Structure 1
């Protein structure tokens, strides 16, 4: 679990550093922002997971520190990492949407690889299934959807799509806004197949994961619309 998260983070940072110069971002700045964002993201992800699954840790609170056993709230970590990145970006006076576009493909790549660690640890598993690719994890009496691998596949597709779009983008912030939309969509779809680390929110069909994913999609969609509109107005004024 821990190894694959390290591999995912390393690949994400490596990919971003390779492309930093074409965005006018100093590699040192990109590395510092990545380091602190990753660090706070890990803390935020673990804290959010423990709080939302406190009954699991209440008998032995110290087990909350055993991160190698699995258990991370991605959205909790993502939120704190983004907040950290915004603070550092403003402090160093780097164009925020420029850095957002630089980070977008890396986020999808790192997340996709890291989810292989969840598969190895047996956390974030899916609902029972009789499909031929169902996986029987230790402690289960029925095969389940390998939702961790679904996450890997969908996010690697997002990474490939954003990488293809990178040289064709029309305005700053387009890649980051699109990442939010696609990533939220992936999670919303995948949440229907998940069972591990999910809680029912409404009628047993929707979970808190669905709610957060819908918010992420909405934020990404509004951001895309606002930035595209701003670009169109600026272009029209210049013409």
Structure 2
């Protein structure tokens, strides 16, 4: 594992931060291509992706600080605002920053009079691919996102990995499910699927709905073999949010389905 790749003067370069930067660039490029294909200004994509990145990092960090802070102690609060802590992988969870990112993008779209759902449609392929790339950063950092131990001789032994040199190391001799790599593979497949079907749907929000369903399902299944604490009904926090994503996606898809069918009938009648 390589949590910190190298250092430039006083500035450490972390593997997670580097992969997050690559995810940002790839997501921005894909979003720009989709904006251009749909007749939007590509510069809009730069602003929206920046808002998503800013909201994702700040929102995740704030959530982490609130969870970890010993209330009443100003000194312990300031610990979380050191340069190294702010730019490390600690607390950079996908769901932690999701809410702030969505809120910032919605506000921007409302100000610029853009269709929020259409923007989310165009962001969906790049978002899931960026998520997968960021998971490679989690793998390189060994930040604790790995899964349960794999017993010797198990069917899954060929997948087993050790994170002894990670930020949150596994015990010596213990091998586990490399769940960040599983998520990268799943995210890449979802990305390919969304890119293949994106031209088949014209009602704003339909592609985003499919993204919500698939991304939520992927995370829910991976959580089964992860060690996150169970909160309600033997479900982890991520699984509860995943269920909400799946339900929201299904609701939006079913709401749009009659409109999609009507558009297809109209297009067929005009041919």
Is 1:94 equivalent to 2:114 in the alignment? yes
* Distance change >3 Å, CA 191–CA 49, structure 1 → 2: farther
Deviates more, 1:146-155 or 1:88-97: 88-97
Is 1:153 equivalent to 2:179 in the alignment? no
CA distance in 2, matches of 1:236, 1:162: 23
CA distance in 1, matches of 2:57, 2:229: 22
* Distance change >3 Å, CA 113–CA 226, structure 1 → 2: same
Displacement after TM superposition at 1:71 (Å):
3.1
- What residue ranges of structure 1 are gaps of 5+ in the alignment? none
2:149 alignment partner, one of 128, 132, 144: 128
Q: CA RMSD in A?
A: 2.3
Which is helix-richer, 1 or 2? 1
CA distance in 1, matches of 2:111, 2:23: 27
CA distance in 1, matches of 2:184, 2:266: 43
CA distance in 2, matches of 1:148, 1:49: 20
Matching residue of 2:92 = 72
1:215 alignment partner, one of 232, 244, 251: 244
SS of residue matched to 1:72? coil
TM-score, length-normalised on structure 2? 0.79
Larger CA Rg, structure 1 vs 2: 2
CA distance in 1, matches of 2:103, 2:160: 37
1:199 alignment partner, one of 229, 232, 242: 229
Displacement after TM superposition at 1:235 (Å):
7.1
CA distance in 2, matches of 1:81, 1:94: 16
- Report if the CA contact (8 A) 1:23-1:98 is conserved: no
* Distance change >3 Å, CA 5–CA 219, structure 1 → 2: same
CA distance in 2, matches of 1:174, 1:223: 7
Matching residue of 1:166 = 198
Deviates more, 1:131-140 or 1:225-234: 225-234
CA distance in 2, matches of 1:64, 1:217: 33
CA distance in 2, matches of 1:118, 1:3: 11
- Report if the CA contact (8 A) 2:203-2:259 is conserved: no
CA distance in 2, matches of 1:95, 1:23: 12
- Report if the CA contact (8 A) 1:115-1:151 is conserved: yes
Matching residue of 1:186 = 218
TM-score, length-normalised on structure 1? 0.88
Is 1:45 equivalent to 2:60 in the alignment? yes
- Report if the CA contact (8 A) 1:25-1:94 is conserved: no
Displacement after TM superposition at 1:60 (Å):
5.2
Report Cα offsets for 1:36-88 as digits up to 9, x if no partner.
12111111122223434558xx9954553413244322112112111111111
- Deviation >6 Å, runs of 4+: 234-239
* Distance change >3 Å, CA 168–CA 233, structure 1 → 2: closer
* Distance change >3 Å, CA 114–CA 218, structure 1 → 2: same
CA distance in 1, matches of 2:179, 2:112: 39
Displacement after TM superposition at 1:234 (Å):
7.0
